[in-house]
Chain A
Amino acid sequence: MNHSDIGTTLWNRRATRRQARLARVSQRLGPALSHSCGGKLVATDSAVALLSSVLECGDRVCLEGNNQKQADFLAKALVQLDAKSVHDLHMVQSVLSLPEHLDVFELGIASRLDFSFSGPQGARLARLLAQGRLSIGAIHTYLELFGRYFVDLTPHVSLIAAQSVDAEGNLYTGANTEDTPVIVEATAFSGGIVIAQVNEIVEKVPRIDVPAGWVDFVVKAPKPNLIEPLFTRDPAQISEIQVLMAMMAIKGIYAEYGVQRLNHGIGFDTAAIELLLPTYGESLGLKGKICKHWALNPHPALIPAIEAGWVQTVHSFGSELGMEDYIRARSDVFFTGADGSMRSNRALCQAAGHYACDLFIGSTLQMDLAGNSSTATLGRITGFGGAPNMGADARGRRHASAAWLKAGEQSRAGLTGARGTPRGQKLVVQMVETFREHMHPAFVEKLDAWELAEQSKMPLPPIMIYGEDVTHVLTEEGIANLLLCRTDEEREQAIRGVAGYTPVGLARDKRMVENLRDRGVIRRAADLGIDVRDATRNLLAARSMRELALASGGLYEPPPRFRNW
């Protein structure tokens, strides 16, 4: 660039483009714009016109699709756009949950996708990809995608969901704040446009989650936004095997390392642990010694442990339907605003889980002999949401804790040089029954992920948690402590040694496995002083949804689908 160019370079094209979008809206929607809510309110039946005025071909669009809360009304509006005038949108959102999240590709409105998780839409996504209806940039972890919102995937337009808007245009998200703060931050400070759907219009919001100045348009949705109770597990469905595995987790890992700060993955395996703390954990004298601080959604299964005084704090990624009143009444434990309701935050809770927790424990569908695990199965492209961040050693961590130091010492014993430099390590536990439903073995020679990568032309197999990061494998057959394995062969036999009667388990080297057991690399229930006959459902602090509600003193109100009394 020479000096004569400086005067002609435009440095405010984002602002100019923003003004052009706003001008189009006021020109086309004039009468549908009201002076209410700081002049941001748009008539409900003009939502489609609003989107078609704001959006330009090729825009990066974040359609707030959370793990739980969904901007469902705006999603329904988006799919009504005419693909002839708005097309090739680039969708950048954490979760694909609603049919509309994929309809935009089928209809030709959008053509490119960057995301984190697509659980319920995974099979359809794989079909659309195979048909060439979209291209996928990458499948991210939550934090990774949020990071890219501020680097090279900044949304031009964001469509978000909030509980209420007030006279000035401030938004209140309610307990399910989730992704909203990070989406709005990235969009509002880069010349983008933020459009919110709200459930209600009020004079004054209980607290301001999004300041009016960061919001451009607000539409009142005809129905409250959809929220999925994803983290509710009915204790009635917890099996004796899960109780046994939970006993081993508490005695063989939590007590062993003195784990105070942790994150639990979703599922019945971890619900069993939560329900065993006030019973089995209490009998081992562990209260106050383990499980004090949590990065966790408000799991109903944690209620008995909270009531028994085990839990000091819980910070959450999102909320959970039915837990609102209980959370309000336990404001010492949960993060609540001055108004009393919870504020969750997925980005901050992911950071907390990654850097400030000593242990992650979660389930998987498949694990190979290197300890790599994945929930990816053939014909489905799902991604892993937050699990890879929770289930990875935090290489940037510098503060010490007893659990972190002990794990680090075990893995570095005998090493020299850079690899022997003292540091801690996060405990990453994969908890899995050797056989899944329909007798599918959880342990395999080769993950389905490899074939999936080939089918979908991915640069890498979609591995949820890398074997390098896994420290313990827990099955009904025992615990394999991979921190103590010194060679690839030892690691392989340690995993085979807890793989039970799966083909992989039956092919173990019996002598080597017994040797690993003598060294404490493999510990069976009996080695931990656990009698398998004690593993009964009577150990669960609550055995049904009703008992959970009772344990909460009637404050927890399970969603109707979970009520059977």
Chain B
Amino acid sequence: METLRYELRGSRPVKRVDPVLVGVVASGNLEVLIEAGVPGLCVFQIETSARGFGTIWEAVIRDFHERHDFAGTRVSIHDMGATPAVVSLRLEQAASSLAGDLR
């Protein structure tokens, strides 16, 4: 297990308070939970079964944040060795559930 954490400044606050959960905790897959967080920040907390992929995680997270620029949110990820393709797909699925809830 490895834990990674990224705190990025965002400018699009999310008003929704109900958490959004997509994906499953299964081999090659992952679970993404988005919930309300610290104002002005988008905090990513990643627990992954595969060690040593920090560079790739950071690149995936930064690209996602560049697209959505969420603020006041906390994104928790439980990863079971998903490829970056699956990670990006799940993040987009979670983000789309929030789309109607932007302030």
Contacts and interface: CB of A to CB of B under 8 A. Distances in A.
B59 A533 contact: no
Given A501-B56, A501-B59, A533-B96, A439 B89 contact: no
A241 interface: yes
A439 B83 contact: yes
B89 A241 contact: yes
The interface residues of chain B, by DSSP majority, are classed as: helix
Contacts of A150: none
A501 B53 CA distance: 11
Contacts, number: 39
A236 interface: no
Contact of B84 (A240, A500, A535): A500
Contacts of A240: 86, 89
A532 interface: yes
B17 interface: no
Interface residues of B, number: 16
Nearest to B29: A239
B50 interface: yes
Contacts of B81: 439
Given A501-B56, A533-B92, A533-B96, A439 B85 contact: no
B60 interface: yes
A476 interface: yes
A435 B84 contact: yes
B96 A500 contact: no
Given A533-B92, A533-B96, A434 B59 contact: no
Given A435-B83, A506-B59, A535 B53 contact: no
Interface string B59-103: 110000000000000000000010111101100110010000000
A535 B89 contact: yes
A533 B83 CA distance: 17
Contacts of B53: 439
A241 B93 contact: no
A477 B84 CA distance: 10
B89 A501 contact: no
A476 B84 CA distance: 10
Nearest to B59: A501
B50 A476 contact: no
A477 B87 CA distance: 13
A439 B83 CA distance: 7
A501 B60 contact: yes
B93 A500 contact: no
A557 interface: no
24 contacts: A241-B83, A241-B85, A241-B86, A241-B89, A244-B89, A433-B83, A433-B85, A434-B83, A434-B85, A435-B84, A439-B53, A439-B81, A439-B83, A500-B84, A500-B85, A501-B60, A501-B84, A506-B55, A506-B56, A532-B92, A533-B92, A533-B93, A533-B96, A535-B89
Given A435-B83, A439-B50, A506-B55, 5 more contacts: A241-B85, A433-B85, A434-B83, A477-B85, A533-B96
Closest 10 CB pairs of A and B: A476-B85, A501-B84, A435-B83, A501-B56, A241-B85, A533-B96, A501-B59, A532-B92, A533-B93, A500-B84
